[in-house]
Amino acid sequence: MDFNVEKVPARTIYNLLIGLVAPRPIALITSMNEDGRLNAAPFSAYNYLCTDPPVVGIGVMNKPGEHFVPKDTARNIRRTGQFVVNVVTEDLLQQMNVCATDFPEDVDELDMAGLTTTPSTNVKVPRIAQAHAALECVEHATIEIGRSRIILGRVVGIYVEDQFIDPAGPYVKSEDLHAIGRMNGLGSYVKTRDAFVTLPRISYEDWKKGTR
Ligand SMILES: Cc1cc2nc3c(=O)[nH]c(=O)nc-3n(C[C@H](O)[C@H](O)[C@H](O)COP(=O)(O)O)c2cc1C
């Protein structure tokens, strides 16, 4: 099927894009408002964009409805300039999903999900204590595009539990971390446990020799 994005409803474009740009990592973002009230919500329109300098990007749609009301995460980041990306792993899947519930403003999502926080090293916003890895970020820019915002965050600190670091690189022991990916908007996710395929890069020298 061919879909002309000018002619199909926004919901169709959403359904198609989030099903095709997949699997996606999930950022469970903690942020704070001006009064220090903590917020947590998952975002899968998320990736790192460059490493020098280290920058991540997050796409946040406005709250549903006619009015241009940003989600709490986007509003907090614009107003206080800091956030933490908590890496979502298999053991945090259910809790992550609870954090996506549209609770009234005075309800603490982390509390509802049974999660707690611990201080970050480089930003005021705490990370989630149960998360095995986290990126501490400061807002580089927020770009408003139609009903969405693209947030560029400069990574100022990286936390990884020691057990998930291979000191040789150092590398992340991805096979042990069990990160989760989002597949579509129907609640489908992928686990990465026992799912690894290792494919080293081929140098041109080896290519010419026919070594693959
Ligand atoms: C796995 C998952 C990924 C999500 N990714 C996004 C996303 O990339 N962008 C977005 O605007 N909403 C996304 N959502 C929905 C938000 O998490 C949800 O709207 C949340 O209530 C926003 O909370 P906030 O207003 O506290 O920021 C996602 C939800 C789930 C469950």
Query: What tokens appear for 161 in the block?
Result: 């539990």
150 Cα to the center of ligand 1, angstroms: 13
Domain boundaries, given as residue ranges, for the chain: 10-209
Q: Strand locations in 146-195, DSSP E?
A: 148-160, 165-166, 171-172, 180-182, 189-191
Mean pLDDT of 84-93: 98
Among 32, 43, 60, 96, the mutation site with the greatest number of ligand 1 atoms within 8 A of its Cβ is: 43
Considering only CA atoms, which residue is closest to atom 4 of ligand 1?
A: 43
Specify the ligand 1 atom closest to the Cα of 46: 8
The confidence band for 50, taking pLDDT boundaries of 50, 70 and 90, is: very high
Among 44, 90, 102, 186, the mutation site with the greatest number of ligand 1 atoms within 8 A of its Cβ is: 44
Q: For 144-195, how does the pLDDT look when each residue is reduced to its tens digit (9 = 90+)?
A: 999 999 999 999 999 999 999 999 999 999 999 999 999 998 999 999 999 9
Considering only CA atoms, which residue is closest to atom 28 of ligand 1?
A: 43
100 Cα to the center of ligand 1, angstroms: 6
pLDDT at residue 79 tops 70: yes
Mean pLDDT of 119-146: 98
Strand-pair category, 27-32 with 82-87: antiparallel
pLDDT at 166: 98
Q: Is 135 in the pocket of ligand 1 (CB under 6 A)?
A: no
Q: For 13-40, how does the pLDDT look when each residue is reduced to its tens digit (9 = 90+)?
A: 999 999 999 999 999 999 999 999 999 9
pLDDT at residue 212 tops 70: no
- Which CATH number does 10-209 carry? 2.30.110.10
CA–CA gap between residue 7 and residue 19 (Å, rounded): 19
